[in-house]
Structure 1
């Protein structure tokens, strides 16, 4: 994807990477938390906070050249769908991105490829499908969806799947769960992967059941508050400054509320070290 100035002078060129896909979901979670905070305000205070949110998102994220590797996907989706609101763009983009991340590999070849768009690419198109290149799949699925979209049409995950020749949402979710079980059975035969890897599969399956194919089920914040999910590493970094950040949610709304911020950083650091050791031992 190429970025240019208003005068069409080139700035840089970046891939549609999985990092950018994941960034869409991360920022949307911040939007969700921030919106809950906005609901507690009214009048001028609310207007000021909304303006502050838009300012931070546009200045520090969307139009930050240093982050173009991470914001390329949201620009692509907003441009194709002609969306001018950052909030609406992220709301739709997170659904599309999560579907792409969760799609079973055996369904990828069912997605129509508009060959006229890739006439000069030759065998590279099939190679990218075989390799599961998610950036390419997202681009192609977005094109399939947007070319039939009418003005004023409301986005839905079902329509996004339908226009890409994919089964209904519930059917795709069933296939994903089958893949989870298949991987679990295969991993169980490998002694060196059995304990840790199986645990990660169980956590992934549980989260998938609660959040669904497009991530519109139970919000991450609610999962954390109920201690149904606790991330390995916790920091205060956020694209949108918010009084109800993750650390405060953990400290105030969960049984872990008596742990102070220094202890949280110590805990996350210990976990990070252990994870690094694990990857080195496994040779990954």
Structure 2
């Protein structure tokens, strides 16, 4: 079967939606309860925006002492939304995702109302069920891995996420992956409370986006905000051996509802494979 030419109508899913007046608290609850990464903002059945885990994590840090209960979806800076129709192909969808560095495409009806959504997960699943050519993880993984140590301040971790525009940081000890941190780990309610109890939000913002960290900056961050990667990371991350087929990696992603897996060789970190890497194969 030619996977690339399949129509998107085969893989459209129904997204979780909110109205422009939905609060940040409610949007966060929907993400956490449903273990999803995004909600679609809909006004009169038409999509007007997307709010992701990353958006909420960034917004929380910028609130300071302002209550998150008072922030509504319409207050988020509008994101450009990318759309296709059910008649577009999987390959067209994959190309759009790669070109704009996005993880989801909104599917519109003829009257521009919301029909559904296609995500990288949708494409990865169809790849698993239709692609028969074996490809080793080592052939498509990224060898350069952005990582941190368990003792690194969490502000440094988030700075790395922002700086490199990535979705996860591998926490390693002695070259072995011992944890992973994604934007989802910055979403829970305890994060803004930590800031309120531990630091001036303006100083937090300054260090969060600072370029060119040095040892003095790291020491200052530890003083301002004494929480570390080990406090919020998911320990014992799922890993995959570099000589496995990518179908095996996909099954792990689906089973554990994750989008990226550290790649190891003899237990040592040697790369990372993500849904984006698999989507690029479809192109």
Please give the TM-score of this superposition, normalised by the length of structure 1: 0.26
Please give the TM-score of this superposition, normalised by the length of structure 2: 0.26
Comparing both structures, which one devotes a greater share of its residues to helix? 1
Comparing both structures, which one devotes a greater share of its residues to strand? 2
Please tell me whether Structure 1 or Structure 2 has the larger radius of gyration of its CA atoms: 1
